[in-house]
């Protein structure tokens, strides 16, 4: 698990989702969670540097300090039992929508597939405060989307595994960019709810290898 989470962190810079030491990923493990250490560059991460924490964000071993978002990740795990992995980034196109406080409308099939509707905006909250975790949970519980744009901050994504959460973060940035480009060309029209539901259902239940 530590090797997996360390390797998955490499996907964040590889997909252009993070710069310097920003962003983080975590995975639920028995008794707590594993998360990125605070302030360590991505190319210096090792399996040993992943921090084992309880779900209040406190380290359980003598280790590096965990990400400053550890308590937020823990809050999500405590309140969403189906979640096994969480990713946080300030990826630029998605964060531009978050800065505007504007949900990304569901205007393309790939968005209906992955997000099952719009990508919603959550409230502004200060880092380290429980309000940010609560804002993420309350926003995601009202939507199909595994991604939420936290106002004036960035993106949090969830998945049944850390890999699923990484995929959602990559797809969120991809659709944020495409919808931005489309809107620069003119008006965009959201898909109708029936088509969104049919696409989402097919993608979640039929698409890919079984």
Which residues in this chain contact Zn ion in the complex, by CB under 5 A?
154
Torsion of the alpha carbons at 42, 46, 51 and 52, rounded to the nearest 10: 140
We find the least distance from the C-beta atom of residue 28 to Zn ion, in angstroms, to be 20
We find the least distance from the C-beta atom of residue 74 to Zn ion, in angstroms, to be 15
We find the least distance from the C-beta atom of residue 204 to Zn ion, in angstroms, to be 28
We find the least distance from the C-beta atom of residue 153 to Zn ion, in angstroms, to be 6
Please give the Cα distance from 199 to 133 (Å, whole number): 30
Sign of the Cα torsion 153, 26, 12, 104 reads negative
Q: Which parts of 65-188 fold into alpha helices (H)?
A: 70-79, 92-100, 109-115, 130-141, 162-185
Sign of the Cα torsion 14, 8, 10, 151 reads positive
Of residues 128 and 193, the one with the C-beta less far from Zn ion: 128
Of residues 84 and 154, the one with the C-beta less far from Zn ion: 154
Of residues 68 and 204, the one with the C-beta less far from Zn ion: 68
Of residues 132 and 162, the one with the C-beta less far from Zn ion: 132
Which residue's C-beta sits nearest to Zn ion? 154
Strand intervals (E) in the chain: 24-29, 32-35, 51-53, 85-89, 121-122, 147-150, 154-159
Of residues 115 and 156, the one with the C-beta less far from Zn ion: 156
We find the least distance from the C-beta atom of residue 136 to Zn ion, in angstroms, to be 12
């Amino acid at each position: 698990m530590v090797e997996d989470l360390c390797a998955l962190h490499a996907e964040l810079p590889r997909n252009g989702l993070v710069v310097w030491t920003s962003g983080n990923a975590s995975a639920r493990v028995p008794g707590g969670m594993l998360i990125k250490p605070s302030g360590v560059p991505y190319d210096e991460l090792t399996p040993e540097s992943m921090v084992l924490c309880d779900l209040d964000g406190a380290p359980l071993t003598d280790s590096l300090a965990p990400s400053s978002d550890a308590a937020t990740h823990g809050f999500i795990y405590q309140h969403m039992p189906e979640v096994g992995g969480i990713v946080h980034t300030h990826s630029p196109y998605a964060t531009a929508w978050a800065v505007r406080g504007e949900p990304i409308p569901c205007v393309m099939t790939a968005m209906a597939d992955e997000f099952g509707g719009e990508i919603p905006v959550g409230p502004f909250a200060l880092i380290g405060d429980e309000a940010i975790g609560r804002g993420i949970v309350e926003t995601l519980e009202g939507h199909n989307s595994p991604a939420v744009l936290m106002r004036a901050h960035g993106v949090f994504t969830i998945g049944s595994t850390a890999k699923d959460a990484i995929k959602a973060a990559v797809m969120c940035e991809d659709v944020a960019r495409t919808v931005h480009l489309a809107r620069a060309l003119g008006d965009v029209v959201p898909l109708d709810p029936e088509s969104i539901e049919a696409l989402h259902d097919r993608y979640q239940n039929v698409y890919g290898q079984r």
